[in-house]
Amino acid sequence: MFFTQFKNVQQALSKNETSVQKIVEHYLKNIAQKNEQLNAFLEVYEQEALNKAKEIDEKLAKKESVGKLAGMVIGIKDNLCYTNHPVGASSKILDGFVSQFTATAVQKLLDEDAIIIGRLNCDEFAMGASNENSSKGLVRNAANNDYVPGGSSGGSAVAVQADMCFASLGSDTGGSIRQPASFCGLVGSKPTYGKISRWGLLSYASSFDQIGALTHTVEDNALLTEIMAGYDNNDATTANLEVGSYVPLNDIKQPLKIAYIADCLHHEGIDPAVKKATLEVIEKLKAQGNQVEEIAFPYLDYMVPCYYVLTTAEASSNLARYSGLTFGYRSPNSVDLESTFKKSRTEGFGPEVKRRIMLGTFVLSSNHYDAYYTKAQRVRRIIKEKTESILQEYDFIILPTTSTPAFKIGEKSSNPIAMYLADLFTVQANLTGNPALSIPLAKHPESQMPFGIQVIAAHHQEKKMFDFAFMLEKECKG
């Protein structure tokens, strides 16, 4: 019972070939068999999921109306709130914390009869590109357990990759959905900033974070995005725009005008197999009559430094609330107010989170604010304006999702700079707020690990982006 398309789930249910309870039992069985090795799930809501499945089955038997997602089993990243369930961002600092409310994005899925089967491992506070930074242990790639799944939404990717749930939710601050999607052979999307409410998402960097989905197909990703999208009174950054219908997807009208960034394909760090496969897609698009042109983007090497200056500054501010005073972990060694702050944070945060907090505090300090933070904001504006000017002339930008396929566990963990550069091709969409998505492209001829190709579209052009990706998905499979 390996479903990769939700319409097949719906067809099987309508023909009484299966039941929602059997679907949930299938995933629970796989979790029991695989999760000890992969470490994707931190907690499984077994009885809740079975009870919800029974409820939906009863509605179906009585021919009562059910939600659009009836029969879809979803895992959620451990930085998304779900009422009366623990949420911890895979950090010791939030040990024992139970959410008092449900994230808007999660609630919208529940309202359509989705079943939440559990919470998923991630890099601590979504800071990482390999899922080796979790206080709950690293996550392993299901295609080869010696390799990382990508991060920070590594658990979300592996849960879908290993058929432990149908789809999952992650968060994307600099590529944290798209990069693991690439490493695990999935579709992963980051919508336009403000398209999906961040209410109930534990913040890393508030002007970058976005919630998105990981699925097997573009169409299912579009469906989940459509349902989660929309204005939310609880999040002032959400766009008050009509969402419209993303599904069904249609073959996009051609010819199109598509740009690809020369600086990416000619970058010294790109794997030859990734470059070759990307160029082959470009040639296919040209053969269909599309105008595909190489463009210069001279800011590529400035994007990662700009991203890390700004995100660490925001993290320094956002993570100040985890003090050990009112919730979460409190050091047993504290004796007064000052030692409670110092010891709880020192013991509760992991090395990577502490590194980013300290870097962010440094760039926000009075002596360095103008030299780093102010300058990075100016660079962000330049990158945003350049990207917008490209997308005024072209329908889409295409580029590799990552410069390499998944790397081995431990290969980059001792070198933070090398790890940060894993975000090289994904941070652009977060700096600019544009929607972007990764779809599976090929497998590396040596390691046989998957990698993806990425599409960036203009702001709030999700429908157009999904339609193009739907066409591209067929080309890549072909």
| φ and ψ at residue 34, rounded to 5 degrees | -110, -25
275 CB-contact burial (10 Å; exposed 0-12 / middle 13-18 / buried 19+): middle
Work out the percent of the chain whose per-residue pLDDT is above 70: 100
Is the per-residue pLDDT at 338 higher than 90? yes
* HSE-CB of 457 using CA atoms within 13 angstroms: 21
Crossing angle for the helix pair 375-393 and 300-318, nearest 10 degrees?
Answer: 130
**Sign of the dihedral through C-alpha 472, 474, 477, 478:** negative
**Sign of the dihedral through C-alpha 380, 385, 386, 387:** positive
Which pLDDT belongs to residue 477?
76
Beta strands 291-295; 257-261: pairing state: parallel
Name the residues annotated as catalytic.
77, 152, 176
Which pLDDT belongs to residue 208?
98
291 CB-contact burial (10 Å; exposed 0-12 / middle 13-18 / buried 19+): middle
Is the per-residue pLDDT at 286 higher than 70? yes
Q: In the predicted model, what is the mean pLDDT of residues 139-166? A: 98
Q: In the predicted model, what is the mean pLDDT of residues 414-429? A: 85
The 10 Å Cβ neighbour count of residue 91 is 28
Which pLDDT belongs to residue 398?
97
Which pLDDT belongs to residue 55?
98
Domains of the chain by start residue, with CATH: 1-478 (3.90.1300.10)
From residue 276, how far is each of 144, 265, 400 by CA, in Å?
23, 9, 10
pLDDT single digits (tens) 369-382: 999 999 999 999 99
Separation CA 166–CA 71 (nearest Å): 9
* HSE-CB of 470 using CA atoms within 13 angstroms: 19
437-475 burial, b if ≥16 CB within 10 A, otherwise e? bbbbbbbbeebebbbbbbbbbbbbbbbbbbbbbbbbbee
Is the per-residue pLDDT at 421 higher than 80? no
Q: In the predicted model, what is the mean pLDDT of residues 360-368? A: 96
Is the per-residue pLDDT at 56 higher than 70? yes
The structure tokens 């024992």 sit at 96
Which pLDDT belongs to residue 10?
96
pLDDT single digits (tens) 153-167: 999 999 999 999 999
Is the per-residue pLDDT at 269 higher than 90? no
Which pLDDT belongs to residue 186?
98
pLDDT band of 254, cuts 50, 70, 90 = confident
218 versus 413: the higher-pLDDT residue is 218
Range scoring the smallest mean pLDDT among 16-25, 159-168, 259-268: 259-268
pLDDT band of 25, cuts 50, 70, 90 = very high
58 CB-contact burial (10 Å; exposed 0-12 / middle 13-18 / buried 19+): exposed
Q: In the predicted model, what is the mean pLDDT of residues 161-178? A: 98
pLDDT band of 418, cuts 50, 70, 90 = confident
* HSE-CB of 460 using CA atoms within 13 angstroms: 11
245 CB-contact burial (10 Å; exposed 0-12 / middle 13-18 / buried 19+): exposed
Which pLDDT belongs to residue 478?
61
pLDDT band of 66, cuts 50, 70, 90 = very high
Which pLDDT belongs to residue 1?
66
Work out the percent of the chain whose per-residue pLDDT is above 90: 93
Q: In the predicted model, what is the mean pLDDT of residues 245-264? A: 93
Is the per-residue pLDDT at 416 higher than 90? no
Separation CA 8–CA 23 (nearest Å): 12
CB 464 within 8 A of CB 249: no
Is the per-residue pLDDT at 47 higher than 90? yes
Separation CA 92–CA 108 (nearest Å): 29
Range scoring the smallest mean pLDDT among 73-82, 92-101, 126-135, 414-423: 414-423
Separation CA 478–CA 462 (nearest Å): 24
CA dihedral 268, 271, 274, 279 (to 10 degrees): 40
Query: What average pLDDT does the chain have?
Result: 96
